Amino acid sequence: MADSVMKWYVVRAIGGQENKVKAYIETEISRVGLSDYVSQVIVPTEKVVQIRNGKKVNRERAFFPGYIMVEANLSGEVPHVIRAITGVIGFLGEVKGGEPVPMRKSEVNRMLGKVDELSVQDENIAIPFNVGETVKVVDGPFNGFDGTIEKVNEEKRKLEVMVKIFGRKTPLELSYMQVDKI
């Protein structure tokens, strides 16, 4: 199969089930023997940092919920096989009963660049704190105390916070995740 006829299409899927639908598409295409017609199936995801029960949790979430990118040659039975898969709503941009519309080259490059950028990108959290700001300690032994930021260490991702304990000012070194703005 010539790669020149492979184009990128966007498949609409049920939100929250993108990875499951991706697996269904891959297994169904290989089961039917149409692997030569579908080269890649991608769910664009991004890494997100969440705080659950006071712990930092890394999670992947769909960058475009409900959408899956498929590089394929949609000839013959391929579009019908993909549409018939559980969880697939249809192709993006198609008119009822018409042919699916392929993505423009610029859109594909932007999407794939975004996917690569998000997978390579390290947890780049902007520093939301400034020197002199008042913060509340939300984690650790000094939970519940208020303090003033004296220093911000970007490399270590730490803050030096001056907290008043028993009437005396005490410096604490805390991570960004241990404090909240007041």
- Note whether residue 126 is domain-resident: no
* pLDDT, averaged across the chain: 84
The CA–CA distances, whole Å, from 181 to 7, 21, 55, 62 equal 48, 41, 18, 29
- Please indicate, yes or no, whether residues 56 and 108 belong to a single structural domain of this protein: yes
The pTM of this model reads: 0.58
Band (pLDDT 50/70/90 cuts) for residue 107 is confident
- Please indicate, yes or no, whether residues 12 and 73 belong to a single structural domain of this protein: yes
Q: Which domain holds residue 141?
A: 134-181
- Please indicate, yes or no, whether residues 8 and 70 belong to a single structural domain of this protein: yes
* Rounded (5°) CA angle 107-43-109: 20
Tell me the average pLDDT across 55-72. 86
Half-sphere exposure of 145 (CA within 13 A, CB side): 22
- Please indicate, yes or no, whether residues 150 and 71 belong to a single structural domain of this protein: no
Q: How many residues does the chain have?
A: 182
CATH number at residue 176: 2.30.30.30
- Please indicate, yes or no, whether residues 24 and 93 belong to a single structural domain of this protein: yes
- Please indicate, yes or no, whether residues 114 and 159 belong to a single structural domain of this protein: no
Band (pLDDT 50/70/90 cuts) for residue 103 is confident
* Best mean pLDDT range from 45-54, 56-65, 82-91: 82-91
Could you give the CA distance from residue 178 to residue 166 in angstroms, rounded to a whole number? 21
- Please indicate, yes or no, whether residues 16 and 105 belong to a single structural domain of this protein: yes
Q: Say yes or no to pLDDT of 147 above 90.
A: yes
Closest CA to 119 of 46, 49, 61: 46
Could you give the CA distance from residue 139 to residue 129 in angstroms, rounded to a whole number? 17
Tell me the average pLDDT across 67-91. 90
pLDDT tens sequence across 118-142: 555 555 555 678 899 999 999 888 9
- Residue 119 tokens read as 């997978």
- Please indicate, yes or no, whether residues 78 and 110 belong to a single structural domain of this protein: yes
pLDDT tens sequence across 79-90: 889 999 999 998
